[in-house]
Amino acid sequence: MKKTNVYLKSGVLVAILMCASTSGLAADLPRSEPMYNFLPGDVVVQNVKTSLQNHGIDASSLQVDADAKGVVKLSGPVGSKQDAETATNIAKEAEGVYAVLGQWRYESAAIPVSEADTLIENEPSADGSTADGAGTQ
């Protein structure tokens, strides 16, 4: 019986000490300061554009917007999905950015016509004529 009381008293004492130390730590934290200090939207936009340019990406053709919470919206033409992912990842690393949303427009380069495509156009059809009007005899 005495052994049980000793364990019970020890457990209660440990619990009280843990609560006291936890409340002491919480009292040290300032309550009026936010957990995350947001930068103004225009500062975040400038940080993102500078970061993109430092990585060799022409940001002049991209639209960069940011709200008061650090959410950045990128939009504009890109050459490939990889280009879009690269720009998004660089923007995520800029100071003041909390999240990045992308609205990309993929632009493909002009595809050159190869000689093989030209040959296919001039193959004779079932009646023996070709696309250029010359027939076979």
Model pLDDT for residues 68-94, shown as the tens digit of each residue: 899 999 999 998 999 999 999 999 999
Position 112 confidence tier, pLDDT thresholds 50, 70, 90: low
99 CB-near residues (< 8 Å, 6+ apart):
70, 71, 72, 92
Break the chain into its structural domains and give their ranges.
41-106
Residue 125 has a pLDDT of 61
Pick the CATH number of 41-106 from 1.10.287.130, 3.30.1340.30, 3.30.1490.20, 3.30.70.100: 3.30.1340.30
pLDDT tens-digit profile of 25-75?
A: 555 556 676 677 788 999 999 999 999 999 998 888 899 999 989 999 999
Q: How far is CA 132 from CA 112, 115, 120, 127, in A?
A: 21, 16, 12, 14
Long-range contacts of 57-61 (CB under 8 A, 24+ apart): 57/86, 57/87, 57/90
Q: Is the pTM of this model over 0.85?
A: no
CA atoms 117, 123, 127, 133: torsion sign: positive
